Amino acid sequence: MMSVADFASVLPAGDELLSHQEVEEFVLALVYNGEDETDGTALLRHDGQRWTLLSRVGGTFSAEDLHRLGVPDGLWNRLLVNPIGETEREEALQSGPGWPLTEEIQLSEEDLIGLTEWERLLMASEILARRGCPFDESPLREYFESRSWYEPDDSFTESCLSPIEKANLAFLR
């Protein structure tokens, strides 16, 4: 078990830790932001060397949120405030890409407000994954291989991206 100080330092500025649940390399933290006077939930992951903030939301996370952020489904009910049933679990596992609008609209800074570095990385990588980009890096490869919609294609090149996807990828990088 890690100490609270180990992960509390990566919480967003102004967030005070109210309580937390540690499950393997993940922590679900209930937080209060005194500046905004808002409650929320933060999801963090430890990669063996450091803590990373995966996401911070104003309410609570759903199974689909945890799936989108890369939490293995076997850990969901140990992290979620309200456990889910088999139907909700299957729906989350079969859900499509987390950021489908990146192939439809050109992103702006406003679209990225509140997103963490991890969410931005997933968003950019998902543009490539929807077209079959095979990933060499372990965290991204494992993440996309756990998606029902992902089909790696060894002949993938970025030239197959639409102009909007290319612009969004450049913007996110």
Question: pLDDT 10s per residue in the chain (173 long)?
Answer: 556 777 888 888 888 999 998 999 999 999 998 887 888 999 999 988 889 999 998 888 999 999 989 899 899 999 988 889 999 999 998 888 888 888 889 999 998 988 899 999 999 999 999 999 999 877 889 889 989 899 999 999 999 999 999 999 999 98
d(CA 64, CA 148): 13
d(CA 6, CA 2): 6
d(CA 46, CA 117): 15
The two three-digit tokens of residue 113, written as one number: 């407000």
Residue 89's φ and ψ, nearest 5 degrees, are: -60, -50
Domain ranges of the chain: 4-93, 100-172
The two three-digit tokens of residue 59, written as one number: 């309410």
CATH number of 100-172, picked from 3.40.50.11540, 1.20.58.1690, 3.30.750.24, 2.60.120.10: 1.20.58.1690
Read off the DSSP letter of residue 161.
S
